[in-house]
Structure 1
Amino acid sequence: MSDILDLEPSLSVSVRDTFNIDSHLKVPAFSEPCEFVPAVDEAYQFNADVTLAIIAGFAFNRRVMIQGLHGTGKSTHIEQVAARLNWPCVRLNLDGQISRLDLVGKDAIVIRDNQQVTEFQEGIIPWSLRRPVALIFDEYDAGRPDIMFVIQRILERDGKFTLLDQNQVISPNPNFRMFATSNTIGQGNLNGLYHGAQMLNHAQLDRWDIVTSLNYLPHDDEVNIIKARVPEFTDEKLLNAMVSMAQLTRNGFAVGDLSTLMSPRTVISWAENFQIFKDIQTAFRFAFLNKCSDDEKPLVAEYFQRCFDEELEESYMHLSPTSK
């Protein structure tokens, strides 16, 4: 693995030319990709407002948090901006197993000159701070409270990081950048959809310079995404009905009729399942319907009937004897 300590952005690229967004902004970029730069996804659809927020993070060293429902492509959005800037990018999921030692570092036994010696191994935070990388904290609202305070100091743009075990104070690389994604906005699991989401300390939330939301794509854009992801799916009428079905579940979730919804990721799985089973109902059950509670399946089946003019057997679940 090569080191990237000495890399610096040497180009200035136009946001208008690179992202097709009406903006005068220019953003630094690296001339060549390295192993830490994400691969470019030519099919990715950029949201203009969110892209500008991410661009501000890269160009002006702002701390940017993106909030939104699952499957909207929050982390991928940051990675795809980084990919077009050739900016090294490291993504860390703040799941329940991440510890302070993972973030800060720990002593480890290594072999030096055929001898076992104890050596300090940097965690992801000091490693990233020393380098020109964009550090992305995924599922930021799932981080345990005891590790969130480790992150708090570096949220300030000139925030130095103290390694107590090494008696070192690390100053961030001028091209270090920091981003986060979250399903909630610091209020915890209010609607029951995101178990494990924590309430965030508002003193820490206040340190994020830019907070933006990424919602699901417009109908036609989502259709284009799925066509790009599953190119063998050629029935455009069927695909439009699938996306309409997904949007009905999102509307149902928004008004409290459903406790779950179909993300674009689910629609892609549905399209891929259809290529396997050649039956739209079977593919739908495996991709989404079987994840729903029995109480909600009749309503989902009603949505399906509206979009496909086909009845699912779940339409008749939990009906009273007099209504059958």
Structure 2
Amino acid sequence: MTDEPGLVPDTQVSVREVFGLDSALRVPAFRTADAHVPEIDPAYRFQHDVTLALLAGFAHNRRVLVQGLHGTGKSSHIEQVAARLNWPCLRVNLDGHVGRLDLIGRDAVVLKDGQQVTEFQPGILPWALQRPVALVFDEYDAGRPDVMFVIQRVLEQGGRLTLLDQNTVLTPHPAFRLFATANTVGQGNLNGLYHGVQRLNHAQIDRWNIVAALDYLHPAEEEAIVLARVPALGDEAGRRLVAQMVALAGLTRKGFAAGDVSTLMSPRTVITWAENLQIFGDVALAFRLSYANKCDEAERPVVAEYFQRCLDRELEPSGAP
């Protein structure tokens, strides 16, 4: 599909039927999927407001920025919406090594008719811009300044991209969509949690039509996800244990907000704990290896208290007989 730039959405899906939301909205979609469409995760749980924001992005070509703490599933949320719309989706992580030429393109020596010639090789941005693709910039607030100003050109709805080296102006494909995820909203590393993020200028943030905040799931939904990932815990004892694990994760998040601990348990960490439990067969050992050993040594008594309160047993320190 993405090698045929002329294609546009050819059907519509019901938000109520496909996403389980109480809405009469119908959203454009593709009948068939190609290799760039993410796989559907049947265990995924959609957050109401964020899902509607993303669907508005797909349906009305709005630029959507999803902000939230690590492990809330920001990128996964975008991918799972795209998967159910059969919309090709590409993720680009804006780490410190991604530069302007990576996005725009550069001249490269290629072999043509047996001769070495210099030819312009487009980067991911002009390639995606001309195709029915949802382009997702992960870690948006960690992007380098030269990269951010390149992206700023296409943030306008229908914004064109000028390739100065080629004297070319590219018009976005009608089904091109732009999304981003960030841990902050361009305010920088205020609490010391996310090293490497940048302060973004207000003009950059102002160009995003929708900013959605994604929080952690309700405990019952988080338990359902863990059980879907680790079905071996599906019996009565296992479900009770998973409820205790999710409750402990909730305590770490409250402790993080209060400043008692500097490392919280994301849903990803809870799933990892459950998976490691299947490997080691010891809930305390799996907890230490999945989370407790990541914490500052001075905070481990607090973590051990959380463990005792939720699982009604002591958490022995690492190396204890």
Within 5 Å, give how 1:116-265 maps onto structure 2.
Answer: 116-234=116-234, 235-265=238-268
Superposition TM-score, scaled by structure 2 size: 0.96
Letter of the structure 1 residue corresponding to residue 306 of structure 2: Y
Contact 1:140 1:180 in 2 (8 A): yes
CA distance in 2, matches of 1:211, 1:15: 20
CA distance in 2, matches of 1:305, 1:291: 18
1:112 corresponds to which residue? Answer: 112
Contact 1:66 1:213 in 2 (8 A): yes
- Unaligned 5+ segments in structure 2 are none
CA distance in 2, matches of 1:20, 1:107: 48
Letter of the structure 1 residue corresponding to residue 250 of structure 2: Q
1:313 corresponds to which residue? Answer: 316
CA distance in 2, matches of 1:233, 1:274: 10
Letter of the structure 1 residue corresponding to residue 272 of structure 2: S
Alpha-carbon offset, residue 18 of structure 1? 1.3
User: Does the residue aligned with 1:76 lie in a helix, a strand or coil?
Assistant: helix
CA distance in 2, matches of 1:157, 1:2: 21
CA distance in 2, matches of 1:264, 1:123: 34
Pair 1:285 & 2:288 matched:
yes
Identity %: 65
Q: How many residues align?
A: 315
User: Does the residue aligned with 1:296 lie in a helix, a strand or coil?
Assistant: helix
CA distance in 1, matches of 2:87, 2:150: 25
Contact 2:2 2:133 in 1 (8 A): no
User: Does the residue aligned with 2:135 lie in a helix, a strand or coil?
Assistant: strand
CA distance in 2, matches of 1:94, 1:132: 21
User: Does the residue aligned with 2:211 lie in a helix, a strand or coil?
Assistant: strand
Alpha-carbon offset, residue 6 of structure 1? 2.3
Query: How large is the Cα RMSD of the aligned pairs?
Result: 1.2
Contact 1:88 1:134 in 2 (8 A): yes
CA distance in 2, matches of 1:120, 1:50: 39
Query: Which ranges of 4 or more aligned residues in structure 1 deviate by more than 4 Å?
Result: none
Letter of the structure 1 residue corresponding to residue 83 of structure 2: A
User: Does the residue aligned with 1:313 lie in a helix, a strand or coil?
Assistant: coil
- Unaligned 5+ segments in structure 1 are 316-324
Contact 2:21 2:48 in 1 (8 A): yes
1:173-210 deviations in Å (ceiling 9; x for gaps): 11110000000111111111111111111111000000
User: Does the residue aligned with 1:200 lie in a helix, a strand or coil?
Assistant: coil
